[in-house]
Chain A
Amino acid sequence: MVPTLWVAFLLYLLHQDFWFWGTARPLVFGFLPIGLAYHAAYTLTIAGVLAWLVRAYWPNHLEGHE
């Protein structure tokens, strides 16, 4: 569980993105403000990281209760 919590903490830090705070441009794909595009990409990144965590650190010891 410890690696999972460290990854969650790292992702949490990436959520507090101050670097695009006052910037609208560039407009990604011509219409998506960079701050919004960042958080959309961030959401997809979470899904990717979770896919890896589920494979690598699944709590198999709980499966025995099925």
Chain B
Amino acid sequence: MIPAIVIFIYLGIVLVIGISNRGGAGKSEAEGYFLAGRALGPAVFLLSLVGTNMTAFSILGASGHAFANGIVTYGLMASASALVIPFGLFVIGTRLWALGQRRGFMTPVQLFRDRWEMGHIGTVIFVVQAVLLVPYIIIAVMGGGTVLRTVSNGVVPFWLGGAIVSMVVMGYVFFGGMRGTAWVNAFQTTLFLIFGAVAVTIIGRGMGGFSGVMASLAEGTGTSALLTRERISPLYFFSYSFIPLSSLTFPHIAIFCMTAKKLGHFKKTIVLYPICMLLIWLPSVFLGVAANRATDVPAIEAKLEARATLATEGATLAPPEQAALRVKAGGDDVILRLVEGYAPFWLAALLGAAVMAAVMASDSQILALSTMFTEDIFTFYGGTSRFGGRVQVQTGRVFIVLITVVAYVIALNTPQSIFDIATQYAFAGYASLFPLVAAALFWRGSTKWGALASTVWTALAVIAVAVVQQNIPAPAPGQAITVLELGGQVVVTRAVQGTLVFGLLPVVPMTLISAVLMVAVSKLTPGARPGAGTLRTYFPAAA
């Protein structure tokens, strides 16, 4: 129960930070509330941006993935993002900032509407972006409920834990707006950074030093592969590197790029972003791998036994038994178990707060949805000009309450597995929207019809992949179920790691086809190109 009390104290601190840093003066009330008056300083901008990209997956999921698959997790998820995201900030983020300053944009759809001189197609893009964001918010409610139930040994039920976390996040987003949310994110990132270093040091001591642990893993017949990348194919590794493109098209990241006070604030963020990734992800992945030698921790030993049974008898077991063993062998709580086994109480409490920080990462998405709704729908369809800026902000706040309540109700009534799938493919969906951003900023010949084609393709592809994933259960490791075969050529398969297209993750064909559609449809519709005035605005050097 004591860790639960520590988490409640943490929630109180977060609420105070968020509410006491409310608002921000901007050109309008909306700019003050939704963009912190475009006045965030360099430290908060860096830490908050890193925190905005961190989810529960960064700490828990990464170590769980590494526990099962080994060191490949870092290359898959961390170093690829450490490359793509800061370069994206350099090339795209700085331009979004400049356009926000010059044209007053607050959302990506405003930019698209202006760039391609369109109206309702922007609404279609808004709908696709919004639908892809909602699962993250629902997952956060579920994560909060689960963590509070676990750390309180069931004293706080799931429904109450979810409600408490929802209320706290809603509270500081509602009152604090972008400025409050950014400060909370900065605080949470600081916590992540501290936790990683402390956890590695203390757990390493508890395990008798990592040198012995790693040497033992390298010599073990079943464990040596964990120190290599043999458990993942090079094609899978290559295709996973498309996933970070999603970070450049997430509305909450694009909106966040417009909050910096000066363009110069991007400089430190771009340079330090990879280092922050290293400091947060390396400990998570390393500890996940090392946990394979923590056989003196009963909960971890049970996982290893379940994994061994799956490997030796999995093919002969019925699907429900296989599924039960997979759950038992799952490593998402492996860091929690390491801390239980080797760390003192105070570290367990710190970890509880860090985990709660991770599951509360939905704040930026809630605020982004509210910003998008009020700017892309309410203002675009005449609400602000009719009722004024103050009503616009109040509408945004009401939207925050509504989305929180809806997410909470859905979280209580829907199996988590559905939303796990949804978030997994939302990344692919946002990566597939990358050609929109690239074309809007860098290609004069792009048109609104090209943008529409890419958007509709993305929506259909996400639905198709999610349907395959949900309806065809995962086969045993090493096996693949053929889903689609054309002319004797296997096109789509279902494997244990997900749906694959020609052995690649769906994100690759989704993004490439989206780009092809953007180019082809734009070429077919030259008459829909924006006027000379608009093109001069976006491409002054070429005019």
A-side residues, CB < 8 A to B, are 1, 4-5, 8, 11-12, 15-18, 20-25, 27, 30-33, 35-36, 39-40, 42-44, 46-47, 50-51, 53-54, 58-59, 62-63, 65-66
Contact = CB atoms under 8 A, between A and B. Distances in A.
A55 to B, nearest CB: 9
B409 interface: no
Contacts of A39: 74-75, 78-79
Contact of A15 (B94, B98, B228, B241): B241
Contact of B271 (A8, A17, A47): A47
Contact of A47 (B218, B229, B272): B272
Contacts of B272: 47
Given A43-B274, A47-B272, A22 B230 contact: yes
Contact of A24 (B90, B95, B218): B218
Contacts of A53: 90
Interface residues of B, number: 50
A4 B90 contact: yes
B227 A33 contact: yes
Chain B: interface secondary structure? Answer: helix
B278 A62 contact: no
Chain A at the B interface: SS class: helix
B71 interface: yes
Interface in B270-301: 270-275, 277-278, 282, 285-286
Given A11-B83, A12-B241, A33-B71, A43 B78 contact: yes
A62 B83 contact: no
B10 interface: no
B237 interface: yes
B101 interface: yes
A27 B214 CA distance: 8
A51 B270 CA distance: 8
Given A24-B224, A58-B267, A1 B91 contact: yes
Given A31-B213, A33-B227, A43 B277 contact: yes
Contacts of B224: 24
Given A21-B234, A31-B213, A43 B275 contact: yes
Interface string B33-54: 0000000000000000000000
23 contacts: A1-B91, A12-B241, A15-B75, A22-B230, A30-B214, A31-B211, A31-B213, A31-B214, A33-B227, A40-B278, A40-B282, A44-B274, A46-B79, A46-B274, A47-B274, A54-B267, A54-B271, A59-B95, A62-B94, A62-B97, A62-B98, A63-B263, A65-B263
